Structure 1
Amino acid sequence: MSTSSFDADSTLGALLIGTLVSFALFGVTTTQVYIYYRRFPQDSFAMKALVASVWCGESAHAICVAAALYKMLITNYGHPERLLVLPNSFLASTFFGSLVTFGVQTFFAYRIYALSKNLWLPYVWLIPCLCWALSLFRFIPPNIILFAYGHQPAPQFLGRFGPLFDAIWAASAANDLLIAGTLVVLLYGRRNAGLQLTVAMVDKLIAWTIETGVVTSIASIIMLVVFITLPSTFVWLAIFVTIPRLFANSLLASLNSRAALRHDNSHEFEFSIPKSPARLIGRNTSQTNQSHAVEHDRPDEHHEQPR
């Protein structure tokens, strides 16, 4: 990459914008983690550990991306030829980002297993197994290749491993669509067997599942398209550093949405049943006492009136 052919807008500028967006989403992630621990202290230790590990992975990813951006913008200032080799901190950020993505996809795959294990459908267990396999395919091969050959110049590295990364990111997008689609089908099956209040709750779960699953899938597809069409720019890297934030926020939004569902459900229940049994008993008791008092104060008609 010579100085005359160097385009700062499509390389460092794009990466800077992607990093800023990634940091903004990291703030959203931190806020959602705080909300989670405040609202759900009764959750299991495994769930709390998952949320803590996701936030720690996001923090490490943000630190590594910031260190890589500093080296590319400040340390290597005036040397565009050095941009052909990504810094070690950026390679480390790919590990933490893929670790977060793997944890979130594994969680949603387990949710598929938990929803489908009581349905007794033939071969339904193959879907979560396929999701776990695709998650491992996205996590293990890229990290091995990047740590082994990531110090090569970008044209040589992409010419050697570009098709493999195309397949990895395509598999990741397909995995997100498979998870979202399966969850929607399973929730819709439970919707038909529920009560009216349960149906409204399941409808909201279906809508949120579609939204979170489609966002991560669209981001992966866009990054894949940009990586194929514009491999000499850093536009795909700008999208790449934001994808772990989307996965983390989709997990936390799924967990924190339970509070909104409970609030809406109790609100609907309150308006659908205006009088609770306790209030009905209290009202009947008060009415009975009032009737007894009236009868007590009323003169007995069977007694003779005094002359």
Structure 2
Amino acid sequence: MATVTHSNLKTSLGSLVIGSLAATALSGIVMMQGILYFRMFGKDHLGMKLIVSSIILLDLLHTAMLWTADWMYLVAGFGDMNITNHVFWSAGVSIALTAMTTVIVHFFFTYRLFRLSKGNYFITVPMAIIALLRVGSAFTTAGELKFLGVLHTLPLAVTLGLVLSTALDIMITSGLCIFLRKSRSSGNGSSGRLDHILNSMTLYTIETGMVTCIATAISLIFWLAKPHALIYLGLHFAISKFYANSFLASVNARKLLRAQHVSLSTSGSGALPPVFTNRFIRQSGVSVQPDTVDLTSSKLQITIDKTVDYATDDIPMSSTRTTRSNSATSPMEDVKAKV
């Protein structure tokens, strides 16, 4: 057991507090995105709603475990100079909850890549296996902590879990970007507008994948550099939140992408790749249709009166007025305009 200095003690406990505060703030964003999802996608399949609900529930439990761990370190262990040599059961449970959130998100994005690659098992099956190995190493770590209570005695399990998570993030992000680029058309006109949306999707995929990858990589670096300090654990507190936010942000982004798709469809462009539609789960062999985008709330009625002047043979240059009324509706308030 390593000797804990006063400086290391302050660094370790400070990292736990800062990590818990950051994780709690990110948990608030998770909750907000969950509320937005149920408001915007009330017609989603029940399976998709259960996945979103499970992510939110795991996030709430994870936050509760973080503050339980902080209580044990800062209050129950007050005055114990060797307190940071131990990892309490609540921290072990938080590691297991992080693994559960991570594997759900990894499977979700792996499924997206599977659909975008048109059923490429050669790429997606190894990713699914890595995701299972990652969650297995995390549960091994959490289980051993229940009996040992010291995290730095499990270097292989902890290192393996962080390495697998980082590698899988890179693989999924790279795969999605590659196949999105392949979906781009080489034509002009409406296809060029579709390419603009695909470029936005590519940038969005890189940004969301990069956040989780960087957070995991930094935690791995501190674990390898200072295994007896708890900086890596404070960083690990926020990893679960990054994955939950990445998942919910990707799901909620469908509304904006569909709104852009509607404008492209009216101009005759191609359809979006199936990875960004609402058919994540099928029911009885029938695909769930995407939600329609309701950009406005009421109707607009425009009445157009046309006046035609004509001359007859028996009445030279006599003008008779004839009026026709055409009407068109569009989703806004009732308004009449005469032309």
TM-score, length basis structure 1: 0.83
Q: Secondary structure at the match of 1:147?
A: helix
Give yes or no for contact 1:219–1:243 (8 Å, CA) kept in 2. yes
| 1:98-177 to 2 correspondences below 5 Å | 98-117=99-118, 124-152=120-148, 154=150, 157-159=151-153, 161-177=154-170
Q: Distance in 1 between matches of 2:316 and 2:10?
A: 109
Q: Distance in 1 between matches of 2:198 and 2:213?
A: 22
| 1:109-258 to 2 correspondences below 5 Å | 109-117=110-118, 124-152=120-148, 154=150, 157-159=151-153, 161-192=154-185, 195-258=191-254
Q: Distance in 2 between matches of 1:4 and 1:31?
A: 41
| 1:73-112 to 2 correspondences below 5 Å | 73-112=74-113
Give yes or no for contact 1:22–1:241 (8 Å, CA) kept in 2. yes
Which residue is 1:37 aligned to? 38
Q: Distance in 1 between matches of 2:193 and 2:241?
A: 33
Q: Distance in 1 between matches of 2:115 and 2:316?
A: 78
1:177-225 Cα offsets, whole Å, 9 max, x none, are 1101111111111122782332222111111101011111111111111
Q: Distance in 2 between matches of 1:149 and 1:211?
A: 34
Gaps of at least 5 residues in structure 2 are 269-301, 318-339
Give yes or no for contact 2:93–2:142 (8 Å, CA) kept in 1. no
Moved more, 82-91 or 132-141: 82-91
Give yes or no for contact 2:84–2:230 (8 Å, CA) kept in 1. no
Q: Secondary structure at the match of 2:82?
A: helix
Q: Distance in 2 between matches of 1:15 and 1:220?
A: 16
Q: 1:137 to 1:3 in 2, by over 3 A?
A: closer
Q: Distance in 2 between matches of 1:90 and 1:191?
A: 45
Give yes or no for contact 2:88–2:145 (8 Å, CA) kept in 1. no
Give yes or no for contact 1:54–1:100 (8 Å, CA) kept in 2. yes
1:91-150 Cα offsets, whole Å, 9 max, x none, are 1111111100110001000111112226xxxxx312111111111111012212321344
Amino acid across the alignment from 1:158: H
Give yes or no for contact 1:58–1:245 (8 Å, CA) kept in 2. yes
Give yes or no for contact 1:6–1:80 (8 Å, CA) kept in 2. no
Q: Distance in 1 between matches of 2:219 and 2:316?
A: 100
Give yes or no for contact 2:96–2:142 (8 Å, CA) kept in 1. no
Question: Offset at 1:9?
Answer: 2.6
Q: Secondary structure at the match of 1:110?
A: helix
Give yes or no for contact 1:117–1:125 (8 Å, CA) kept in 2. no
Identity value in percent: 24
1:241-287 Cα offsets, whole Å, 9 max, x none, are 10010001001111111222234445677899xxxxxxxxx99x854
Q: How many residues align?
A: 281
Which residue is 1:278 aligned to? none
Q: Secondary structure at the match of 2:8?
A: coil
Q: 1:79 to 1:304 in 2, by over 3 A?
A: closer
Give yes or no for contact 1:184–1:210 (8 Å, CA) kept in 2. yes
Q: Distance in 1 between matches of 2:145 and 2:215?
A: 26
Q: Distance in 2 between matches of 1:3 and 1:243?
A: 26
Q: Distance in 2 between matches of 1:109 and 1:85?
A: 36
Q: 1:302 to 1:142 in 2, by over 3 A?
A: same
Which residue is 1:301 aligned to? 313
Q: 1:111 to 1:221 in 2, by over 3 A?
A: same
**Which of residues 247, 256, 260 in structure 1 aligns to 2:256?**
260
Q: Distance in 1 between matches of 2:4 and 2:177?
A: 51
Q: Higher helix share goes to which structure?
A: 1
Q: Distance in 1 between matches of 2:252 and 2:136?
A: 30
Q: 1:149 to 1:14 in 2, by over 3 A?
A: closer
